């Protein structure tokens, strides 16, 4: 597939990129080179190859879910300006 100057201008407009007339030929050759590379990829035989989500086949590490309060309530509340038990005390903001 080969792009012409009008197609390059249309792509630039759709991408919201300002392209000067002097840049059109350069972009045309660069885009044609990219499309040529993509056409080469079509020639690769991929029959029998499963699509990959990742190139590294790793399983997810799993651990037991454990409920914990962190056991550091005193350290967390040490700098609180006001507290009630193990909770921050804040002024009422809704009337």
Half-sphere exposure at residue 28, Cβ-oriented, CA atoms within 13 angstroms: 15
Q: Is residue 68 part of a domain?
A: no
**Which residue, chain included where needed, has tokens 């020639």?**
43
Q: How far apart, in whole angstroms, are the C-alpha atoms of residue 8 and residue 16?
A: 12
Residue 88 maps to a domain: no
The structural domain count of the chain equals 1
The 10s digit of each residue's pLDDT in 60-95 is: 888 888 888 788 888 989 989 999 988 899 988 887
Inside any domain, residue 22: yes
What range does the domain containing 25 cover?
5-41
**15-69 per-position pLDDT tens digit:** 999 999 999 999 999 999 999 999 998 889 988 888 877 777 777 888 888 888 7
Q: Is residue 21 part of a domain?
A: yes
Whether 15 is in a domain gets the answer yes
Instruction: For residue 25, tell me if it sits in a domain.
Output: yes
């Amino acid at each position: 597939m080969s792009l012409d100057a009008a197609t390059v201008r249309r792509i630039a407009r759709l991408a919201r990129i300002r392209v000067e007339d002097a840049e059109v030929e350069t972009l045309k050759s660069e885009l044609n080179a990219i499309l040529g590379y993509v056409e080469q990829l079509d020639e690769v035989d991929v029959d029998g190859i499963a699509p990959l989500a990742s190139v590294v086949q790793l399983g997810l590490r799993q651990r037991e879910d454990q409920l914990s309060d962190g056991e550091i309530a005193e350290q967390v509340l040490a700098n609180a300006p006001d507290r009630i038990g193990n909770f921050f005390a804040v002024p009422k903001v809704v009337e």
